[in-house]
Structures are given as structure tokens and as C-alpha cells.
């Protein structure tokens, strides 16, 4: 395996995790990763060989996600995101309950707030790195993060108070 | 000077662990939350939110990678013929080595080790000769922070690796150092077990294609296993048996190929000049130099 493929291969688990913050359905998230990998392999000669291959891959993944968005929105029509969730099941234990809530809550946020939260809070990128991946100024990133995290705080609390919680794979 | 007001973004950055890079701002946030229970409560809520998000998504890293994703990087046909190609390549290398040996014998020069690993093999051998396992008698005594990721910036490309976790094999990391050589920066990780056995692992980034499977060479009592995989050249040296060295090398090779746990931060570029090359010892970062000194005293 050449060195760029080697570098890309070891990022697959992280790409799958970030994709899951963008696409709730695991199969759709893996579709996103597959498209990202195909594009990265095809375009690897264009990689500037500057900085981290991980940031480059996140950038491709987010671009692929944005490109797929119109189709996804068409498929969803006007349906509420909640209607696409898996069937609800009672939570088994507290730990599961919290995870289910936070994921459910995250996926109720708009894409432009969910994407920076995934990069910073889940993937651990700095704000500068996340802004670079998303192709937005850092001030815009901060603003989206602030609004998104605040909304998440309310949704997270509200969900915890609901008697029937949905389980997330 | 009056304190600047603390914003929601300050709290958010604090919850995400980012102000560690700005101690002054961090101190101001600490002071503010000490004075205001409301701010402290808001911060606690954000920290809990970050922790819940990380916990919720962490299992995804350990999920097996679906075949359809692996196949993008290595199509099935290539994998099918890969074994045969590797075997053919090894034959060619062996034939090349025999030819080189013949020429070497004819002209009185040493036969070089295969590929880009030769400098590492020499360095690893020298180290194992100078510091036999007896140097680590007493077992592991790892310094906190030693397991931080190893970062290189070579030819403008950053690469971050977690030091291989060999605890399942009974080995712990007991020392780490970085060196500058003519071929770039080399990181040496030394592992030891409770029985007093130890080995040194040398890692160096490389940006050339062409892998070499794990090979073993013996010089006197020293076994040196070396391999080239992706952008990393590796060599392991010890006075342990050759079989054990090979088995450790295979385990390490698999560990290195895994994704790192830490974000792939941009490491500080290493400015080198001809005068600073060869045997200068450098740490990964200036801050970490202090951590290294304590450990190195027990070994060197």
C-alpha cells in the first residue's frame, strides 16, 4: 500500500465516526465515507501534501455531505427528522439513556450547527482546524457552535425528561 | 488591569479543553467561575454535554471496518494477487541482496541493509549493544506523559502515531527520545517487562512507496527486526531471542497501522541545519524535554 493510501486507511474509523454525526443512519454514514474514500483516492495527486491528511479527509467528507444534501432533503420531503428514527425502546440503563438522548438531540440541530459540533466536541479539532475543514471564517464557526451548543443544552434536558426514549444504534 | 468579561464562547472552549493553549484566559475563566455559581453551573452542563457526545460516539471507532470501505483502498483483485506480488518482490530483494553481497565481497565493502531501513538498523544495533537488557533491571517505571502521541512534520506532511500499546504482551514504555539524523528525525521508544527484558523501537517517517515485510537480522547476540510500512520505517533491537523479536515486531506493526487516539495536531516544524544534524538529541516539543530528562538518566 502506498504511503498516502496507508495514511488514508488509518483514518477510516474517525471518518466513520464523524459521518455518523452528520448522517444518523449508519448505512448512510458509511455511504458517505465510501464516497469520501473514492474521491480521496481519485484526487490524491491533488493533495497539497501540507498539513494533516485527516483534515483533508474531513474536508472531502463534508463536501460530499453537502453535495448529497439536496437529494437527501428531497427524499425526506417535509417530514420531521424524528420520523426517521429507529423504533423507540425503553432505555436499558442510565448510560444508554444519556447517549440516546444526546444523539437524538444532536440530530435535531440544523446541519450547519451539527457539523462544527461533531468536529470540535466529538473529533477534538481546534476551532481553527474546524473552520478550515468547513471552509468558513472562525467567527462564523464560533457563532454556529455557540448557537448549536445552546440549542443542544435545551434539547438534551428536554429529552431526558421525556418518559419514552428512543434507542440509537 | 480589569478582568475581561467571560463569554459563553469562553465557557464552551473551556468545556472542549481548548484553553489549555492559553493559560492566561484559562486563569480568567477559573477566577470567574469561582465567583459565579451560575457560570460554574453552565460550565458543568457544557462539560457534561461534551462528555456525553464523546461517550455516545466512541464505540464507532472500534466497529469492524466494512469490506466495501477497505475495498476502496485495496481492490479485491489487488489483494488477491498481493501475496504473490509480495513473494515475488521478496525473491527479487533476496536476489538483489545476494548480488550485492557478491559485489560487496568483491570490492571489500559492507552489504547495506535493504532499503531505507539501513540507518535505523545500524542505530538500533548500536543501541542494543550499548544498553543490554540489564540496563532496565527493576522493570517498567514509565514517566507520566510518555505515552503522548509521536508527531513528525516531514516534507510538509504531518504524521501522528500513538506509541504502540504492548501491555497485552507484558511490555510497558519506559523511555522515549528523539534524534536528528541525516535522514530526518528518529524517535526511539524503549519498552521493558517485569522480567527485566527490554527492547528499543526506532521509528522514522519516510515518504517513499514500497513496503518491506518484517525481516530479522542478527549481529552477535543482538536481534534487529526491521520493516517499512506506509510512511514509517521501523526497527526493533534487543538481545531477546529472534523469534520473540519477530513476534513483537508483528504486533507493533499492527498497532502502528491503527488510527491514533489523539487529534492529528500540526506539530511544530523542526528547523534543521547541517550543524545540528547527526547525533543531536531533541525532544518532540520543548515542554516535554523536562519529562524526558528524568527518564533518560536511569538509562543513559
DSSP state letters, A27-52: HHHHHHHHHHHHHHHHTGGG----EE
Those residues whose C-beta lies under 8 Å from the C-beta of residue A30, and which sit 6 or more positions away, are A16, A19, B66, B68, B69
**For position A53, what pLDDT does the model report?**
84
Contacts of A37 in chain B (CB under 8 A): 69, 72-73
> Would you put residue B288 in left (φ > 0), alpha (ψ -120 to 50) or beta?
alpha
Those residues whose C-beta lies under 8 Å from the C-beta of residue A44, and which sit 6 or more positions away, are A4, A5, A8
Average pLDDT of chain B to the nearest whole number: 68
Q: Does B82 have pLDDT greater than 90?
A: no
Least Cα separation, residue A19 to chain B (angstroms): 10
- Which residue in chain B is spatially nearest to A123 when comparing CA positions? B263
3-state helix, strand, coil in chain A (%, to 5): 75, 0, 25
Enclosing H/E stretch for A84: none
Q: Does B279 have pLDDT greater than 50?
A: no
Give Cα separations from B159 to B149, B172, B191, B204 (angstroms): 10, 23, 22, 11
**Residue scoring higher pLDDT (B233 or B99):** B233
Closest CA to B257 of B58, B54, B60, B65: B65
- Which residue in chain B is spatially nearest to A96 when comparing CA positions? B56
**For position B14, what pLDDT does the model report?**
86
Q: Does B81 have pLDDT greater than 50?
A: no
Interface size, chain A vs chain B, as Cβ–Cβ contacts under 8 Å: 139
Least Cα separation, residue A72 to chain B (angstroms): 21
Decide if A103 touches B, using CB distance below 8 A: yes
**Residue scoring higher pLDDT (B290 or B87):** B87
Instruction: Enumerate residues 124 to 143 of chain A having a beta carbon within 8 A of any beta carbon in chain B.
Output: 124-127, 129, 142
How many angstroms separate the CA atoms of A107 and A20, rounded? Answer: 10
Closest CA to A58 of A135, A147, A2: A135
Those residues whose C-beta lies under 8 Å from the C-beta of residue A11, and which sit 6 or more positions away, are A53, A54, A57, B259
A143: three-class secondary structure by DSSP: helix
Q: Which of A41, A120, A124 sits opposite B73 (nearest CB)?
A: A41
**For position A19, what pLDDT does the model report?**
97
- Which residue in chain A is spatially nearest to B14 when comparing CA positions? A121
Least Cα separation, residue A26 to chain B (angstroms): 10
Closest CA to B201 of B154, B245, B262: B245
Contacts of B9 in chain A (CB under 8 A): 142, 145-146
Tell me how far apart the 2 most distant CA atoms of chain B are, in Å: 82
Closest CA to B198 of B247, B136, B154: B136
Q: What is the total residue count of chain A?
A: 169
Contacts of B69 in chain A (CB under 8 A): 12, 16, 30, 33-34, 37
How many angstroms separate the CA atoms of B62 and B58, rounded? Answer: 8
Decide if A92 touches B, using CB distance below 8 A: no
* Interface residue of B58, B68, B69 to substitute, partner A, most A CBs within 10 Å: B69
**For position A143, what pLDDT does the model report?**
93
* Interface residue of A27, A100, A149 to substitute, partner B, most B CBs within 10 Å: A149
A110-146 burial: b if 16+ Cβ within 10 Å, else e: eeebbbbbbbbbbbbbbbebbbbbbebeeeebbebbb
Least Cα separation, residue A75 to chain B (angstroms): 24
Decide if A115 touches B, using CB distance below 8 A: no
How many angstroms separate the CA atoms of A23 and B20, rounded? Answer: 31
How many angstroms separate the CA atoms of B186 and B179, rounded? Answer: 5
**For position B137, what pLDDT does the model report?**
46
Contact across the interface for A156 and B52, Cβ inside 8 Å: yes
Q: Which of A38, A122, A129 sits opposite B57 (nearest CB)?
A: A122
**For position A60, what pLDDT does the model report?**
94
Are residues A103 and B56 in contact, defined by beta-carbon separation less than 8 angstroms? yes
Please tell me which of A70-74, A76-80, B79-83 the model is most confident about, judged by mean pLDDT.
Answer: A70-74
Contacts of B64 in chain A (CB under 8 A): none
**For position A17, what pLDDT does the model report?**
96
Closest CA to B150 of B209, B231, B215, B55: B231
Beta partners for residue B204, in sequence order: B233
Listed in sequence order, the DSSP H helices in B64-211 are 67-73, 76-107, 118-130
Q: What percent of chain A has pLDDT over 90?
A: 47
Contact across the interface for B159 and A7, Cβ inside 8 Å: yes
Q: Within a 10 A sphere around the Cβ of B116, how many other Cβ atoms?
A: 17
**For position A28, what pLDDT does the model report?**
92
Q: Which of A21, A37, A49 sits opposite B156 (nearest CB)?
A: A49
CA dihedral over A55, A60, A61, A62, signed as positive or negative: positive
Q: Does B113 have pLDDT greater than 90?
A: no
Contacts of B209 in chain A (CB under 8 A): 2-3
Residues B30-65 pLDDT 10s: 888 888 898 899 899 899 899 999 999 999 988 999
Decide if A9 touches B, using CB distance below 8 A: yes
Q: Which of A1, A53, A127 sits opposite B74 (nearest CB)?
A: A1
Banded model confidence at residue B278, pLDDT cuts 50, 70, 90 = very low
ipTM (interface predicted TM): 0.81
Contact across the interface for B74 and A10, Cβ inside 8 Å: no
Residues A87-141 pLDDT 10s: 334 444 444 445 557 999 999 999 999 999 999 999 988 899 999 999 999 999 9
Amino acid at each position: 500500500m502506498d504511503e498516502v493510501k496507508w495514511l488514508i486507511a488509518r483514518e477510516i474509523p474517525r471518518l466513520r465516526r464523524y459521518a455518523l454525526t452528520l448522517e444518523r443512519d449508519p448505512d448512510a454514514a458509511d455511504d458517505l465515507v465510501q464516497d469520501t474514500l473514492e474521491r480521496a483516492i481519485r484526487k490524491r495527486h491533488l493533495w497539497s501534501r501540507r498539513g494533516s491528511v485527516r483534515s483533508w479527509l474531513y474536508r472531502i467528507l463534508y463536501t460530499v455531505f453537502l453535495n448529497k444534501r439536496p437529494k437527501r432533503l428531497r427524499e425526506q420531503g417535509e417530514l420531521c427528522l424524528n420520523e426517521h428514527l429507529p423504533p423507540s425502546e425503553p432505555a436499558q440503563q442510565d448510560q444508554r439513556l444519556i447517549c440516546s438522548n444526546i444523539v437524538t438531540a444532536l440530530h435535531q440541530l440544523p446541519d450547519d450547527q451539527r457539523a462544527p459540533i461533531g468536529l470540535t466536541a466529538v473529533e477534538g479539532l481546534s476551532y481553527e482546524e474546524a473552520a478550515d475543514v468547513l471552509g468558513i471564517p472562525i467567527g462564523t464557526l464560533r457563532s454556529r457552535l455557540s448557537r448549536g451548543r445552546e440549542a443542544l443544552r435545551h434539547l438534551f434536558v428536554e429529552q431526558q425528561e421525556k418518559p419514552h426514549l428512543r434507542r440509537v444504534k | 488591569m480589569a478582568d475581561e468579561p467571560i463569554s459563553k464562547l469562553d465557557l464552551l472552549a473551556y468545556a472542549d479543553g481548548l484553553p489549555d493553549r492559553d493559560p492566561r484566559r484559562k486563569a480568567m475563566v477559573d477566577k470567574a467561575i469561582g465567583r459565579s455559581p451560575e457560570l460554574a453551573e453552565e460550565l458543568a452542563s457544557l462539560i457534561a454535554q461534551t462528555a456525553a457526545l464523546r461517550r455516545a460516539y466512541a464505540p464507532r471507532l472500534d466497529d469492524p471496518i466494512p469490506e466495501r470501505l477497505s475495498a476502496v483502498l485495496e481492490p479485491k483483485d489487488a489483494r488477491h494477487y498481493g501475496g504473490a506480488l509480495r513473494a515475488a518482490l521478496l525473491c527479487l530483494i533476496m536476489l538483489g541482496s545476494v548480488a550485492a553481497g557478491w559485489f560487496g565481497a568483491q570490492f571489500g565493502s559492507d552489504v547495506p541493509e535493504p532499503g531505507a531501513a539501513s540507518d535505523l538498523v545500524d542505530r538500533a544495533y548500536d543501541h542494543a549493544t550499548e544498553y543490554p537488557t540489564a540496563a532496565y533491571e527493576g522493570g517498567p517505571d514509565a514517566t507520566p506523559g510518555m505515552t503522548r502521541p509521536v508527531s513528525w512534520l516531514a516534507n510538509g506532511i504531518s504524521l501522528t502515531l500513538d506509541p504502540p500499546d504492548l501491555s497485552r504482551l507484558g511490555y510497558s514504555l519506559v523511555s522515549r527520545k528523539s534524534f536528528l539524523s541525516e535522514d530526518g528525525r528518529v524517535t526511539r521508544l524503549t519498552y521493558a517487562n517485569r522480567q527485566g527484558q527490554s527492547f528499543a523501537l526506532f521509528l522514522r517517517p519516510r515518504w517513499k512507496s514500497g513496503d518491506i515485510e518484517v525481516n530479522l537480522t542478527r549481529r552477535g547476540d543482538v536481534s534487529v527486526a526491521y520493516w517499512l510500512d506506509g510512511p514509517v520505517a521501523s526497527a526493533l533491537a534487543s538481545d531477546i531471542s529472534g523469534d520473540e523479536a519477530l513476534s513483537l515486531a508483528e504486533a507493533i506493526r499492527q498497532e502502528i497501522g491503527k488510527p491514533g487516539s489523539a487529534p492529528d495536531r500540526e506539530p511544530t516544524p523542526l528547523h534543521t541545519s547541517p550543524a545540528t544534524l547527526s547525533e543531536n538529541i531533541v525532544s518532540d516539543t520543548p515542554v516535554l524535554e523536562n519529562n524526558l530528562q528524568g527518564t533518560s538518566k536511569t538509562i543513559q
